[in-house]
Amino acid sequence: MANESLLDDLHRRWKKITLLESTAGLLGWDEQVCMPPAGQSWRSEQSALLAGLIHSELAKTGLGETLEKLEASPPADPFNRASVQEARRRQSRALKIPNQLVEELARVCSQAQPVWAHARAKSDFSQFLPFLEKIIHLKREEAAAVGWEGHPYNALLDEYEPGMDCAQLDALFDELQTPLTTLVAQSDDQKAIPTQPVGRFGIEAQKLLGEAAAKALGFRFDAGRLDTSTHPFCSGIAPGDCRITTRYQSEGFLESFFGVLHETGHGLYEQGLPEACRAEPWCQAASLGIHESQSRLWENMVGRTRSFWEYFLPIAKAMFGAELDDWSLERLTGCLHAPRRSFIRVEADETTYNLHIILRYRLEKSLLDGSLPAVELPQAWNHLFHELFGMKVPDDRHGCLQDIHWAGGGFGYFPTYTLGNLYAAQFMRAARKELGDLESDFRQGVFARLLSWLREKIHRVGRSKTAQDICHAATGSRLSSLPMLEHLRNLKA
């Protein structure tokens, strides 16, 4: 009975934290999707206030006392034990970071994001530089407060990918770089293949196609919605309220379509977490790498297959009419799989994508430890991009200003994209082995068997296991680069 009372106290406290975080999430969604520009100043203050309130709740003595008692007599239920462990991890971090720093980071990042958007549109890094310098300074303060071994980046990475560190990432990325650059170098014979259908594709028709695909994969529109933003994202605001976005260009439909598939993967994970437990610490994504695995699995391992387009190409042709008359199934899938050097990460093919992440990881490590002054970022970006891709970056919009992450303070976030790709390939290989012929399902627009497998192996597990343990339980082995490299080589075969 004593433990039940303590667990009730933990869940009561955590529900308040969760409500505050979901409110902050709603304000963040609104800021990116529909807030008028003149509201930015007040929104930055709102964001700072909520960040401070969340931090204060995490740091409360009462929460620590409850956790101490639960740790002295651990709950028998594994999910409750995981809740205690996760709550302790969050509180330990919160106690190390001053509330003033938390509020200032939230305020500056809220102010920085519209400046970044304007600088990106104008391709003018100098506009964003003062805010980037402020954010780097604050993130260094955060890393120092948390404490670190080996590299300050580890203190920030742990927030997104618990248990991962620079030593593991460096080894992993060094292992990946040579095979990836070799595959890219072998892609020159595919330059003649068009990157996508080009023509006049109505935005409303693109939206309808995206909604149809998201619904087919299993996204619940009674518990979610699709909107437009400068940078596509997914926000799991609350149980029954998951919001995804994409962006559109009228001359082509594939960017918006794959943006929807990607964010739908995130959304399916959010909608797959047990709603009745959402206010409990364990009931969240295991890590951002696992979260990203779900988006990349649906976007690439499913959405770029021939069988998927056997079902969706006729639907797209019905929506876009003559613009797709000359596009056969073979021609479309050929363009989807062709490796190409490109400047923009979110438009990158599967083979080159991880080189984009390796570039960002190396640069943000250098920005954080001071070996790269922020003012030199464009030159450093352009130099490393040329080294990895053999291309000269034309301007900042196609270079260091293309991502919103640093404006949002997301140092440590980028590596989770490549981790997600590795997890996705490994999960998909295991699912195909266990479920058998998924291609016949996809040809009929049926994705329920795969989604059910992901629900059981990943979504409903939440954070009751570590990312690596989830991977091992689902696939029978620890995370490896081999399934992804095998997948990429098969695309070229």
Catalytic annotation, residues: 263
Q: What is the CA angle 373-374-378, rounded to 5?
A: 110
Tokens of 269: 């994970």
Rounded CA separation 156/405 (Å): 13
Rounded CA separation 161/142 (Å): 16
Tokens of 310: 């056997």
Q: What is the CA angle 146-152-157, rounded to 5?
A: 75
The partner residues of 252 in beta bridges, in order of sequence, read: 249
265 touches 272 (CB < 8 A): no
285 touches 269 (CB < 8 A): yes
Rounded CA separation 401/332 (Å): 30
Pairing of strands 234-238, 224-228: unpaired
Count each helix (H run) and each strand (E run) in the chain, helices first.
20, 3
Rounded CA separation 156/142 (Å): 8
Rounded CA separation 407/419 (Å): 22
| Strand ranges, E, within 359-459 | none
